[in-house]
Chains A and B, each alone.
Chain A
């Protein structure tokens, strides 16, 4: 026993190295598999408030482009108002809409930290539990999928960016309605990859790829991007499609967090169906 202690004391440098590596890897694995990093991530108060004050300063320099972006989005919304459509039908009738019920509502949040250069990227938002954000909510823009909320604190939330190896989005080719999976392969934050569209579907460069809505996280028919290249790789029986993402991930300012109203009901139903 004494010899053992002597041995450890003599080579303590090596043993301390191993111990610290074990701690570090425990942290990595825990964070990766259980997504439980409530203590040390950018949603914690110290780093959250540092990032917020940095964003407050940096935002002044981006005001012009934010204004332009907001004006463009305003125009888009204005053009959807009922008043902008010419009424061709002069008959007046009212109807009580029981067919349509609201399925999604949105929370507006500001991006206070964001990366695109890593293989696994994260985004921090300035809204948290107090504003109604919960883990597993989707984050979108009108022209793209941004990510999924991973962790929330009282005032901030940490989001797994779409540019993360754990994220796969169920998507469909808009023209043919065929389903596939979209994910990010790394390196270029403007490109994504789509798999599992069968070879009999006719594809064209420039076709749009939208969300399918099957995950109950993102609404249906949100644009993800357009096809820039496709091929059938040797041995595969599906297309490998390269997509130009419509969102510029390097230039995120405001995003919408999606609150899916029927999500828990849908998931409960699907779970119980699977158990039969």
Chain B
């Protein structure tokens, strides 16, 4: 077990704990819950292997499902998001290759790149999640409305987490 694995497991436990113990109890205006756990998938390194990415996504989703009695729904939505991640990265990046082992962070990619990257994937994740949760096509507009509002909440919380995690030491050293 190298240092990277330990770091990822620690981050996984922390994010799941925040999601389950705090955020699952939040419902603004009756039905809006922010989700922070997709940040774990968003922050895996750029050069992560495809199968590792998908399996982590499935496992993360299933863990959240276990605590929210939604069997399989979060797993499905998170796998969907992980599947789209490489395409979204290719779509919005200018340079084609990244340093080995580097992660999508504010101090690596800049604030706006992270914001667009997070917004796109989180919106896709939430829309997919609310669609399988409702499983009805006649509520399409309500679902999209709800995913938009929830996405804004989740994106705010995730960007906040990014800013907290950003390394402030760089400025101090110079």
Contact = CB atoms under 8 A, between A and B. Distances in A.
B156 to A, nearest CB: 17
A44 B61 CA distance: 17
A116 B30 contact: yes
Interface in A112-132: 115-120, 122, 124
Contact of A28 (B21, B67, B72, B139): B72
A24 B69 contact: no
Contacts of A25: 72, 76
Contacts of B61: 24
Contact of A20 (B58, B73, B130): B58
Given A16-B51, A119-B133, A120-B133, A28 B66 contact: no
Nearest to B65: A40
A250 B30 CA distance: 9
Interface residues of B, number: 37
A158 to B, nearest CB: 6
Contact of A13 (B54, B130, B134): B54
A237 interface: no
B142 to A, nearest CB: 8
A124 B24 CA distance: 14
A117 B76 CA distance: 20
A115 B69 CA distance: 10
Contacts of B134: 119, 186
Given A116-B30, A117-B31, A188-B30, A42 B67 contact: yes
A187 interface: yes
Nearest to A189: B30
Contacts of B69: 37, 41-42, 122, 124, 158
Contact of A24 (B31, B58, B66, B86): B58
B79 interface: yes
B83 A17 contact: yes
B62 interface: yes
A24 B32 contact: no
Interface in B46-99: 50-51, 54-55, 57-58, 61-62, 65-73, 75-76, 79-80, 83, 86
A27 interface: yes
Given A12-B51, A20-B79, A187-B30, A31 B72 contact: yes
A21 B81 CA distance: 11
9 contacts: A13-B54, A20-B79, A21-B80, A27-B75, A28-B72, A31-B71, A47-B66, A119-B134, A187-B31
Interface of B: 20-21, 24, 27, 30-33, 50-51, 54-55, 57-58, 61-62, 65-73, 75-76, 79-80, 83, 86, 130, 132-134, 139, 142
Interface of A: 12-14, 16-17, 20-21, 23-28, 30-31, 37, 40-42, 44, 47, 50, 54, 115-120, 122, 124, 158, 186-189, 250
